[in-house]
Homo-oligomer: A and B are copies of this chain.
Amino acid sequence: MSEYTEHDKNGVSVGLVEKKTFTFAHPPDRMELESGASLGPVTIAYETYGTLNADKSNVVLVAHALTGDSHAAGYYREDDPKPGWWDIMIGPGKGIDTNRYFVICSNVIGGCMGSTGPCSINPATGRPYGISFPVITIGDMVKAQKALMDHLGIERLLSVVGGSMGGMQVLEWSVRYPDMVASAIPLATTTRHSALAIAFNEVARQAIMSDPNWNKGDYYGGKTPDLGLAVARMIGHITYLSDEAMKQKFGRRLQDKSSFSYDFGVDFQVESYLRHQGASFVERFDANSFLYITKAADYFDLEEQHGGGSAVGAFSKASARFLVVSFTSDWLYPTYQSKAMVTAMKKNGLAVSFCEIDADFGHDAFLVPNRRLTELIRGFLKSVSAKL
């Protein structure tokens, strides 16, 4: 997920919001993980926007992407320079209209933004888990979200929405808890990573683990693997954009100079941009979380894990109405992958709307203001509400 998120000046923000936490699975009760390991206690950081209606029928669960968090909309302080990561979509009158819906967004487990992850204190040792934290899966993330829903007394979701790895969670929800999910909106996502997507994540992980400061994951309180994490972030960033987007945004323009420097400093604007993205990312993100979350995304295989290798088999468990959206310039999860899931959904007789949006922005297009996407989501949610 990139930093492209811009506040939609025409929209109205949900205003000031607050991060809350919920802790479940206190010892000795631990959460059982897909790997066979267990984890506890588990804390989930979450935020809500809008108002839960009396019959609790207006809940929209938003799932974030790789490096996102629970802060999907609004501001933490009056002078907060930036709103939540999907403020363009979530708010009064926006695509996910907080005048109508009660929106929940939680940080995934394995993350570093308030939910239990590798930088959390392991109660057994009194020290951060580091890589003694168990490897988690998209299924585990969703299971933890389900515990949060139970805690909030929510038995049914009007919709689950998310892009990229958020979309994987959406798909997982739809087959893991079909009775709870009235509708699902997977955006710019896939039922399983291609070799290409795994390859990029693996190189990013190698960049982190090659940094001596990584120290086998045991760096809390000492020097952090900033250089490795920055390289990992830069790799990710390239995959979120497209050839055309980069051409429009940077081309071959030089950074603050009229001729080449003939050294290894910054020459091109795109170099400056990437270095900045790398440097700012390390201030907000934990390197171990990056390892765990990319691994979870690589492991995700809806077909294998829910359909015995068949997408049709996997979606036979689902009953939600689906809105599937892909973007023309997304080469990380290209449209053919969305079309494959749509085909499998249709073979199960599920109600599916599919749209490939023509956008130059690459994978990150779902985070960029796009009237078409906003209207699609708005219309779909209205239609689903009407049929409840």
On A, residues with C-beta under 8 Å from B are 35-37, 131, 134-135, 192-196, 198-200, 202-203, 205-207, 209-212, 227-228, 230-231, 234-235, 238, 241-243, 246-247, 249-252, 260, 262-264, 267-268, 270-271, 274-275, 278, 291, 295, 298-299, 301, 304, 331, 334
Q: 11 A-B residue contacts at CB 8 Å?
A: A35-B260, A196-B241, A199-B246, A202-B268, A206-B234, A206-B275, A210-B231, A212-B212, A235-B235, A252-B304, A264-B291
Chain B residues positioned under 8 Å from A295 (CB to CB)? 264
Alpha-carbon distance between A198 and B252 when the two chains are bound, in angstroms:
9
CB pair B207–A207 under 8 Å, yes or no, is yes
- Nearest CB to that of A299 among chain B residues? B260
Q: How far apart are A26's CB and chain B's nearest CB, in angstroms?
A: 24
Alpha-carbon distance between A46 and B207 when the two chains are bound, in angstroms:
35
Chain copies in the assembled complex: 2
Once A231-B203, A231-B206 are accepted as A-B contacts, the answer to whether A331 and B243 lie under 8 Å apart by CB is: yes
Chain B residues positioned under 8 Å from A228 (CB to CB)? 210
Q: How far apart are A2's CB and chain B's nearest CB, in angstroms?
A: 13
Alpha-carbon distance between A341 and B58 when the two chains are bound, in angstroms:
56
Alpha-carbon distance between A211 and B213 when the two chains are bound, in angstroms:
11
Once A228-B210, A243-B331, A264-B205 are accepted as A-B contacts, the answer to whether A200 and B238 lie under 8 Å apart by CB is: yes
